[in-house]
Structure 1
Amino acid sequence: MRNARRCSLSIGLCIVLIIGPAWSRTPASVEPRSETGQLQGAPWRIDYPAHWNGELVMLAHGFEPVGTPRPDPWPGNKGSEALVKAGYAVGQSGYRSQGWAVADAIEDTERLRQRFVAQHPDTRRTWILGFSMGGAVAIATLERLPQHYTGGISLCGANLPGDVLAAEMLTSLVAFEYFFPAAKGVPEAGLTSPAAAHLPQAQTYDAIEAAVQANPAAAATLAKRLELQPDELADTISLHTLVFQQLVTRSGGMPVGNTRTVYAGFGDDKAFNAKVRRITADAGAQAWVERELGLTGVLRRPLLLQYNHDDPSVTPRFEPIYPALAARAGATPPPTTLPATGEGHCDFTPGQVVEAVSTQSRWAKEPTR
C-alpha cells in the first residue's frame, strides 16, 4: 500500500496510498496509555499500545468470590502488559457483579467492545480471550456474537455448559458428605444446602480441611475420583461450594439433581449409590442454567484452547467435553487444543498469553487453514 506509484491518478488516491489506514500510523505519543471507568455498574479498563497493530483483545477474567474488595481503577490482567507491548489494544470489564457472573460478563464485555469500536472504527480484528471462568465467557461470546469477533482463546477455561458444571459441583459436594459424614462445622443438610451459603468462606474451608485431615483414607479415595492430590482436596471442595451456591442463588433454586445418577469411581460404588444424598432439581433453575450458561458447540469462528498441567480446578476429565460438543454440532472450524503448559491453575507466563493470541492472529491470515 505504500508504493505510491501513479500518483497522478488522483490526489485523493495518492493520499490514501501514502498515509495508509489509521491503525498503521505512528501515534503522536510513543507511550502506552490506559483508560478506566464504569459502564452500567461494571468497572472497565482499556490499555493502548504505543504502536497499535489494529487488533483488539477483549479479555474476560475468572471467578471472583462475592464480597472480594474491588480495586479502583480496575487493574490489568498479568498478561495485559505483554499484549500491549506486542501491539494489541486490550479491553477488560470487571463485570457488574461478582461470583459465577458469566451472563453478566458477556453483556458487560460486549458493551465495552462497542465503546471501543465506536471510537476506533478502523479496528481490523477483535479477539475474545478468557481465563478460567472467563473461558466460558469467551466461548459463549463466540457462539452468540460471532459477527463481532475474528476468533477466541480460552486459557485454563472452565469450558463446560452450565448443566455439566452444576452436575460436577454437585457430585463433589455430595461425595464429600458421603465420605465425611457429620463433619464438624459443615451444616447437617450438607454443602449443597442453603445453610452452607451463609457460611464464611474461611469457616467452610477450615471445616472441610479438618475433616480431610481426620480421615486420610477417605480423602485419598475421593481425591483420586476427582483427579486431585489429597492436599488439593480441601481447596477444591471449598471452591466447588462457592460456585455451586452461586448457581443456586443466580438460578433461584436447585439447578441440578442426581435422583437418577449412577455414580462410579468412588471405591465401593454399590454402597456409594445406595447412601449418597439424592437431590431433586428445580425446573425453573434448570431452565435458567440452560438459558444463561448453555453452550451449544456451534462455532463459526476459530477457537483455541489451552490448559495447564496438574490443574486442580480444571482437571483432565473436563478438557474433552467442549470439543466433543463442538464435534456433535459440526462446528466449523472445530476448536484447536494446544499442548498443556505450566503447573497449576492458570499458570501461563505473559509470553505464553501473547503467543496464544498471536497464533490465532497468524492462523487468521491463512485462508486455507
Structure 2
Amino acid sequence: MRRSRLLALSIALATALSGQVQARTGDAPPPPQTGQLQGAPWRIDLPTRWNGELVMLAHGFEPAGTPREAVWPANDATAALLKAGYAVAQSGYASQGWAVSDAIADTERLRQQFLAAHPRTRRSWVLGFSMGGAVAIATLERYPQHYAGGVSLCGANLPGEVLAREMLTTLVAFDTLFPSAPGLPADGLVSTPAGTLAQQALYPAIDAAVQSRPALAATLATRLQVPAEQLAGTISLHALIWHDLVRRSGGVPVGNRDAAYAGFGDDAAFNASVRRVDADPAAQASLRRQLGLRGALQRPLVIQYNRDDPTISPRFEGVYTALAARAGATPPPTVLPRAGEGHCGFAESDVVRALQAVPR
C-alpha cells in the first residue's frame, strides 16, 4: 500500500474516532496495512469497531535463514484481539535469530508510526510470545512511559547471561554424555564448527545420539526438565540460540570455568570431564547491553506459562519474578495459572483474558 494511501486512511480513522468506540459500516475489518521500517517488515490490523487501544505484538524466535513471506503474516492471536476491539501492530525484526535487541527497536519504531497516524489512541499495551515475551518485558522496562502494561506469554523471561548460561549447560552436558557423536563436529556442539550446521543436519545427528543411549538420554532429559521425546529438539534449539548469542556478542559471552554441575548422573566424573570455557569480557559486556533485564518495572505485567512446555522449563519460570522482587518492582508481576499444553499452546481466548487481566 502506498504511503499516501496509508496516511489518508489513518487520518480518516483518527478523525472518525469518538470516545471509546469507532463505528464502521459493515462487518469486515479494513485490510491490513503493511510495509518495512529500516529493514523490518510490519503489519497493522484495525478492527471493525476499535476500542481506541493498541496492542504491540512481539513474535518469537525465528531461526536465521528462515524464508519470509512477502507480506508479514498475522500472528495467530491477531483475530481474537481484533474481535475484542484492539488494534494490533506487529513487526518482523530487522534480523533473525535471538534478535531481542533489534526487536525492541523495531517495535518502538512501529509504535511511533502508529501513534503518529492515530494520535487519539487511548492506551497502548505490549504483548509477546516466547522470545517475544522477553521483548515485551524489556520494552516495558525501557519505555514505561509509552505503555499501560504488558503481557509475556510462554516467555523466555531471562536476562541474557542467564539464558546463555542455560544454553551452555545443555551443550556441554550433551558433549560430555555423548562424545564424538556421528554427524557432529569432533569438538562437540559448543565448538565453532557446530555453529555452521543447519538445523536439517543438526537435529538428526543429535536425535541419533540420544536414541543410541536411552539411559543417558533419560538422565539428561530429567536434568533439563523436558520430556524424553522432546530432548533432541530442545538440544538443537539450544545450540541454535547459543551460537547466535556468540555471533551477536562477538565472542563467548559466558563461561563455566568454576561451575559445579549436578544432576547428570555421576557428578564427580561429569565435573572432571566436562568441557570448560572462559567468557570473553567484551562479549559478556555486549550481551549485558543487548539483553539486560533489571526487574525494575514501573508498569503492570502479566506472565503466563503453558503446561508441559518443552521449551520453557519450570526452572525458568521464577527467574524474572525473583529479579523483580529484588528490584522492588511496582507493581510486582502478576503470574496467571498455567494454561494450554506445549510451547505457546494457548487458546485465542487465553490471550485476550491474559491481556484483560493486566491491572488497570
Do the two structures share a fold, i.e. TM-score over 0.5? yes
Aligned partners of 2:29 and 2:46 also within 8 Å = yes
Q: What secondary structure, in the 3-state scheme, does the structure 2 residue paired with 1:341 have?
A: coil
- Residue 132 of structure 2 aligns with which residue? 134
Aligned partners of 1:37 and 1:45 also within 8 Å = yes
1:1-369 pair list within 5 angstroms: 21=18, 23-27=20-24, 30-33=27-30, 34-360=32-358, 363-364=359-360
CA shift digits 1:256-307 (9 cap, x unpaired): 1000111111111111111100001111110011011010000000000000
Q: What secondary structure, in the 3-state scheme, does the structure 2 residue paired with 1:334 have?
A: coil
Q: Distance in 2 between matches of 1:76 and 1:329?
A: 35
Q: What secondary structure, in the 3-state scheme, does the structure 2 residue paired with 1:24 have?
A: coil
Aligned-residue identity in percent:
64
Q: What secondary structure, in the 3-state scheme, does the structure 2 residue paired with 1:263 have?
A: coil
CA shift digits 1:285-332 (9 cap, x unpaired): 100110110100000000000000110100100000000000000000
Q: What secondary structure, in the 3-state scheme, does the structure 1 residue paired with 2:41 have?
A: strand
Kindly report the root-mean-square deviation, in angstroms, between the aligned alpha carbons of the 2 structures. 1.2
Q: Distance in 1 between matches of 2:117 and 2:62?
A: 30
Aligned residues: 344
Q: Which amino acid aligns with 2:179?
A: P
How many Å apart are 1:73 and its aligned residue?
0.7
How many Å apart are 1:20 and its aligned residue?
8.2
Deviates more, 1:138-147 or 1:181-190: 181-190
How many Å apart are 1:106 and its aligned residue?
0.2
Q: Distance in 2 between matches of 1:240 and 1:217?
A: 21
Q: Distance in 1 between matches of 2:191 and 2:350?
A: 40
Question: What is the TM-score when the length of structure 1 is the normalising length?
Answer: 0.91
Q: Distance in 2 between matches of 1:81 and 1:26?
A: 18
Aligned partners of 2:22 and 2:52 also within 8 Å = no
Q: Distance in 2 between matches of 1:30 and 1:203?
A: 48
Query: 4+ residue stretches of structure 1 with deviation over 4 A?
Result: none
Specify the structure having the higher radius of gyration (Cα): 1
Aligned partners of 2:22 and 2:51 also within 8 Å = no
- Residue 4 of structure 2 aligns with which residue? none
Q: Distance in 2 between matches of 1:154 and 1:246?
A: 22
Q: What secondary structure, in the 3-state scheme, does the structure 1 residue paired with 2:197 have?
A: coil
How many Å apart are 1:32 and its aligned residue?
1.0
Q: Distance in 2 between matches of 1:208 and 1:292?
A: 30
Aligned partners of 1:23 and 1:123 also within 8 Å = no
How many Å apart are 1:24 and its aligned residue?
2.8
Q: What secondary structure, in the 3-state scheme, does the structure 2 residue paired with 1:65 have?
A: coil
- Residue 13 of structure 2 aligns with which residue? none
Q: Distance in 2 between matches of 1:20 and 1:80?
A: 21
Aligned partners of 1:67 and 1:98 also within 8 Å = yes
Q: What secondary structure, in the 3-state scheme, does the structure 1 residue paired with 2:186 have?
A: coil
